[in-house]
Amino acid sequence: MEIITEPELYSPSISDNGNYIDKIPSFNNLSNGLRCPCGASKDKKYDSHSVFIRHIKTKCHQNWLNTINLNKTNYYIENEKLKETLQNQRIIIAKLEKDVQNKIMTIDYLTEYLNNIHLNNKNTINLIDL
């Protein structure tokens, strides 16, 4: 079985005035290519600097960049909500893990108890047979 690695996800940089701008990363460090979340080409992997430059000049990519610049506040609010959801899920997972551990201990205890009862019954039957 072969391990498949995903391409890096492109994220625009932030300019001095706080707007998102395209800054093309070095493709020397990207062994698996780059994937852009703009939606122009779903699951398209860009393997070279020149191909990615052509991509960021497309209308779809430019519209995506403008959209995220216009919705910066909404993205911040969404990010804060996602942080809260993540924290709540961590608490839920920790509680469920604790419940599973308690159930495992109960199962182990009851299994041992049943084995002891079975052994005691076996010894009693052997005594009666004599």
Residues 65 and 16 reside in one and the same domain = yes
User: pTM of the predicted model, to two decimals?
Assistant: 0.62
For the chain, how many structural domains are there in total? 2
- In this structure, the number of other CB atoms found within 10 A of the CB of residue 64 comes to 19
- CB distance 27 to 51 below 8 Å: no
| For residue 116, pLDDT beyond 90 | no
Please check whether residues 8 and 34 belong to one and the same domain.
Answer: yes
Contact 38, 62 (CB under 8 A): no
Same domain for 62 and 18: yes
- Residues 2 and 60 both lie in one domain: yes
Angle between helices 72-129 and 59-70 (to 10 degrees): 90
Q: How far apart, in Å, are the Cα atoms of 52 and each of 47, 63, 68, 70?
A: 8, 16, 19, 23
pLDDT (tens digit per residue) in 14-47: 999 989 999 988 888 777 889 999 988 777 889 8
Amino acid identity of residue 33, one-letter, is: G
pLDDT digits 0-9 by tens, 58-93: 999 999 999 999 998 888 899 999 999 999 999 999
> Is pLDDT at 109 greater than 90 in this prediction?
yes
Domain limit, last residue, from 70, 96, 114: 70
Name the residue range of residue 112's domain: 88-130
Q: Is the pLDDT of residue 106 over 70?
A: yes
